[in-house]
Chain A
Amino acid sequence: MRCFEAFVGRHCRRLPPCVLLMLGVLCLAHQSRAQSPQAIASYELGVFLDEQRHDIYGNGTITLYNYSARALTELSFHLYLNAFEDEETVFYRSPFSRARGGSLPTRWGGVSVQSLRVTGTSDELWPSASPHSPGDERDATSITVPLPEPLLPGDVQSLDIVWTSRLPDLVDRTGFKRDFHFAGQWFPKLAKLESDGSWAEFTFHPHGEFYADFGDYDVVLDVPCDHVVGATGVRVARNELGGRCRHHYQAQNVHDFAWTAWPGFEEYRRTLEGIDVTVLAPPGNDHNVAATVTALEHGLRFYGEHFGRYPYGTLTVVHPPEFAPAAGGMEYPTLITTGGAWYSAWLSHAVEQVTLHELGHQWFYGLVASHEQRWPFLDEGLTSYADSLALDALFGSGSGSSLFGWDISASAYYRVLGLHRGHDVAIAREAREFPSFGHLGSIVYGRTATALRTWERAFRLAPGELISDYARQHRFGHPTPDDLLASIGERLDEHAVEQLRIALLERGWVDYAVTEVRSEVQTSTTGGSPSSARDAAASETSSSSPQAAVTLYVGRALVIRRGNLQLPVEIELTDAAGQVTRQHWNGRDEYFEARHSGSEPLVAARVDPELNLLLDENLSNNARTTHPESGSRTYGVLTLLAEVVLHGLLP
């Protein structure tokens, strides 16, 4: 109902009630469509894990609903595991080829499709499939298959498929290590069907992630009974036969399915915020699990309040064993992976941080399913922004780290990360177009979070308010940056949104600097007309003794705005008596003169005293004083630290 209320509030106060009622019904229809997506691509799969060979044998039925306006003559599949079939794939030819695992796999992986047929027919479709990805003979992660008959708009097509997935040595969140198996992006998966009837085809590049249609998944996993299993969705049955167990999972309104199996997992079950939560962790991780549960409870409540309730009944959290860290820190619908040594939670907030980040992806990836390859900032950037908010709410000023009373906020870390590469490239660009993974990490994660925190603070919005509408309006949708800006436009004025567009799409940057602070004695009179409150007080004194002189100081602080972003900012002026006043500048001009007049000279000026503009590239030039202080206490602390180190080193 938010859109209805907003529309009525702004435009429709004079419309007749029947029209308003009709608008309301339309709005409700829109809302319900957003809340309950159509199942575009659904999968019924039966899967057998050969735990010795680390192969997955699968078969099942894929059902595609052509919701587009065009007849489909071909299908497009992502065979993501083929990224790991040799060193010639796009994945391994990219500069970030070794990905998060840090090394090449000792065993290569891949997907081979044995059979693909239209249900009820015997004609094999796969022999006519394209042998490689479009435009790249050495890669086979994006494969096109012609359909025997066009699939008309509104029609549904079922396809029977048989395939084998050969898991690689765990490299990039998928594969096996010893007896641990994590199956992510493991089955032949339809590409996202766009509304114009085209397929969102792309090869698997290590900078980017995924993009798919919502659908229903019904998967039976056949694994040895000693393996503890976690998967997307709800486990509806578990049957045992001859030492093997069949775990039956179902998930509605999701766009992927991942699962894990390892004999070593300990299983912890909780109900948090009405959600059945399962945490799978290696033995000896009790404290990590407790920290994970704390973060989940907080996150489900926090994200639910700000971005809409978590709509699924289950959530599975996988803490991979210490020998398989490459499986950690990843998100899938209703399943996330965390990570860290067994003592991590004793030392830092790292467990809570990674948990809140991956949980945040349940909204910005899971529910708001943007194109992760095309616009990585829409999932990673928005999630980083969201997790910094959640961490602040959970840990306060020490949300990033806290050591012996020295608190560093998550925002401070994201700011350093985000400004590390400056504004080398725009935030909103395709994952593979980033010059390096360092740039992607810095700009997509850090700079997006920093920019959004800046807008939130500069325009006095409540935490999370900036993207709250976006998260709710595009739930179960596939929004673009334009959709994000349009949603934000419902909260901010046109100028603010335009500035945000520049920050996201055009390498926007800003640096406010105080370049001058000075005062002059303008006049020295008896009983002159005062121009400030302080002077008024002085004037009262002088009126009772007309011989007393009033000295008036007139000064200015010059604040320069560098960069192409225009953001409103406060300027704090301090006079020699310690009196502090503030002036507001809308930031639209190239510079601002903060005028001062009073009985004391102006001695210092500081722009953005509350450090709201985290995107400000240089904070060192945000202040200027005519009477610099020595910073003696800082020297004192550093000296003491040095003395203690010397004491430990010297005889």
Chain B
Amino acid sequence: MIANALQRWTALGYWLHRAVGGVLVGLLFGKPIVGAVVGYPDPDAALTQPGSVLLLDVLSRNATALAGNGVVALVLVSVWGLLGLLPLSTLLLTLGGDRDDGNIPVSQLFSRVPKTVAEQALLSLMNAGLVAFVGLAGVLVVITCNSLLAEVGSARSRDVWLLVVSCPALALLLLTQPFIDLCRTAKTEGHGWMLTLAKSARLLRERPGAVIWSWAWPQLAGSAALATCAWLSLRLFSNQQGALWSMLVIATQQLGFLALTLGRVVWLANATRRTRIRL
């Protein structure tokens, strides 16, 4: 799926961008929290004492600082998201390499990046619009049904009905993601907008099960790997003290995140192959 060195490097860049973003946001929130207990011989152990008395004390005492950092984090994530179009575009270009061996010449890669970034930005806007539209439609349906069912049956049966009527919207929201990703890979192939949309829609319509499965399984596998690594790091290594063990804990967590990111890369590679075959 990720056949050559260039693809591996761009995949690494794709992961690195997210990892660095995570570190920056983590630092934003971590600084006031850890700073409040820096006098403790072992700040990590102090914050995880049973009952979380100290942790809650730190969070409540630093609520203002944390809220302020939350605003900064929002700005940071927005800027980071825009910057993220660059590693995404290079990844998509290398995944859809023009040469027979699947590679794309580096010079061609650099020359195509600006246009691809712009296209991916438009697709991101389209994604946001679609999500907002489907989400709003779903909310409207739920609100309408809620008022119609207001005095009918028990609260539980009403909630179940609301869940049922909101299922189509949820399913559409879910489908939006593979659809937009198919559009991303199709557009990277150099097709016009109408053709890109039509091809992506046709792929989803003709083989919905296969497309959704190939979208879902890498992400599910990545999520499972992440959960396992997080569990390992928190449960198995939590009683081990020392800098080396701390590094092992963090490395395990990052391994999990790498697996999660790889899951997405695998899906994007798969989507590239699907759009190419169909085209």
Contact = CB atoms under 8 A, between A and B. Distances in A.
> Interface size for chain B: under 10, 10 to 19, 20 to 34, or 35 or more residues?
35 or more
B43 interface: yes
Given A321-B155, A644-B257, A646-B21, A408 B39 contact: no
A651 B47 contact: no
Interface string B113-137: 0000000100110010000000000
A651 B61 contact: no
B251 to A, nearest CB: 9
B154 A178 contact: no
A342 B155 contact: yes
A380 B49 CA distance: 28
B124 to A, nearest CB: 5
A629 B41 contact: yes
Interface in A596-651: 603-604, 606, 611, 614, 618-625, 627-647, 649-651
A628 B254 CA distance: 25
Q: State the majority secondary structure of interface residues on B.
A: helix
Contacts of A619: 53-54, 57-58
B250 interface: yes
Q: State the majority secondary structure of interface residues on A.
A: mixed
B95 interface: no
A559 to B, nearest CB: 12
A295 B37 CA distance: 36
A94 interface: no
Contacts of B58: 619-620
B41 A574 contact: yes
Given A343-B159, A408-B56, 10 more contacts: A285-B156, A407-B52, A408-B51, A411-B53, A574-B41, A623-B40, A634-B33, A635-B30, A642-B24, A642-B29
B151 A178 contact: yes
Interface in B251-269: 253-254, 256-257, 260-261, 264
B53 A614 contact: yes
Contact of A412 (B24, B46, B53, B73): B53
A212 B233 CA distance: 58
Interface of A: 178, 264, 282-285, 321-322, 341-343, 397, 405-409, 411-413, 415-416, 419-420, 514, 574, 603-604, 606, 611, 614, 618-625, 627-647, 649-651
Given A611-B53, A620-B36, A642 B22 contact: yes
Contacts of A408: 51-52, 55-56
Interface in B137-160: 151, 153-157, 159
B178 to A, nearest CB: 13
A630 B44 CA distance: 9
B80 A636 contact: no
B23 interface: yes
A632 B246 contact: yes
Contacts of A625: 39-41
Contacts of A419: 60
21 contacts: A284-B154, A284-B157, A321-B155, A397-B50, A412-B51, A412-B56, A420-B60, A620-B57, A623-B37, A625-B40, A625-B41, A630-B34, A631-B34, A636-B26, A636-B249, A637-B253, A638-B33, A639-B253, A640-B26, A647-B18, A651-B85
Nearest to B256: A640
B26 A638 contact: yes
B19 A643 contact: yes
A34 B88 CA distance: 77
A647 B39 contact: no
Contacts of B26: 635-636, 638-643
A651 B34 contact: no
Nearest to A614: B53
A638 B35 CA distance: 14
Interface in B206-256: 226, 230, 233-234, 243, 246-247, 249-250, 253-254, 256
Contact of A284 (B41, B155, B230): B155
B154 A283 contact: yes
A409 B52 contact: yes
A415 B56 CA distance: 9
Nearest to B31: A635
A257 to B, nearest CB: 29
A649 B39 contact: no
